[in-house]
Amino acid sequence: MNSDQIQTLTTTFEGHGQRTEGGVEYWLARDLQILLGYSKWDNFLNVVSKAKTACEVSGRTVADHFADVGKMVDLGSGSQREVVDMMLTRYACYLVAQNGDPKKAEIAFAQTYFAIQTRKAELIEKRLLEAERLAARKKLNTTEKELSQVIFEQTGGNNDFALIRSKGDQALFGRTTQAMKAAWNVLDSRPLADFAPTIILKAKDFAAEITIFNARAHAMTTETAISTEHITNNEAVRKTLLERGIRPESLPPAEDMKKVERRLASEDKKSLKNPDALDS
């Protein structure tokens, strides 16, 4: 397959991609049937059936990737009739291609095309999740600095913040900070939050924000008063998480935040140096 054929097929496949109102990319099965070189719908459905099985085996919900729809087609008489069709996600198209006849040039191309496109989507999703976690970590850091300032201003103590934060951790996790560091294999010199999943970072931030608000609103002037407030707030957040099936102390640690931050910064730097790579 020469470069011209590859370019033509790429343009053709991309030209048939559509998006729902929610922004989900999809291809119609009857369009994909033609793109993959199947002349008969029934033969193509056999391939789709195998793809659905592969989707189910992979642990994904078939209905999320293979959605039955109907569409109107024109008849020779000038009238129309509805025919069965399917909306296929990029992942569904990838599975269809993987279960097609690789001897077909269209199938061979589609296997590579959708594999690359699916991988791109996974990388984008991974980066977005990492960026969200980094933002949550920075937000928690800002909130904890504000809490530290509130504690200093209202109690006059420089060392109370670490103690209050530790009590908050125990209320949230049901374990001490040191116990959680041991469970997550975190060095004593590193903050526990640098290894916390996004949901925990946001939980800690929410509890701390409430503590700041109430400490100011009720003019709390002692470590005991603010500690009690912070413990209560973290206990309330823990209760909510448990009710939603999330047990903070049982969650696995996330990747070291310093490594994530360095990787994202490096990728941004490379993109600025090579902007053409963004289109590849």
Q: What is the 3-state secondary structure (H, E, C) of 220-249?
A: CCCHHHHHHHHHHHHHHHHHHHHHCCCCHH
Domain ranges of the chain: 3-113, 126-267
Name the packing angle between helices 3-16 and 105-155 (round to 10°).
60
| 271, pLDDT greater than 60 | no
Per-chain mean pLDDT for the chain: 86
pLDDT digit string, tens, across residues 185-235: 999 999 999 999 999 999 999 999 999 999 999 999 999 999 999 999 999
| 280, pLDDT greater than 70 | no
Of 144-158, 187-201, 229-243, give the lowest mean pLDDT range. 144-158
pLDDT digit string, tens, across residues 53-64: 999 998 999 999
pLDDT of residue 49: 94
pLDDT of residue 54: 92
pLDDT of residue 74: 63
pLDDT of residue 79: 65
| 272, pLDDT greater than 60 | no
Instruction: Confirm if 87 and 32 have CB atoms less than 8 A apart.
Output: no
DSSP assignment of 97-148 equals HHTS-TTSHHHHHHHHHHHHHHHHHHHHHHHHHHHHHHHHHHHHHHHHHHHH
pLDDT digit string, tens, across residues 164-183: 999 999 999 999 999 999 99
User: 1 pLDDT band (50/70/90 cuts)?
Assistant: very low
User: 78 pLDDT band (50/70/90 cuts)?
Assistant: low
| 31, pLDDT greater than 60 | yes
User: 251 pLDDT band (50/70/90 cuts)?
Assistant: very high
| 9, pLDDT greater than 70 | no
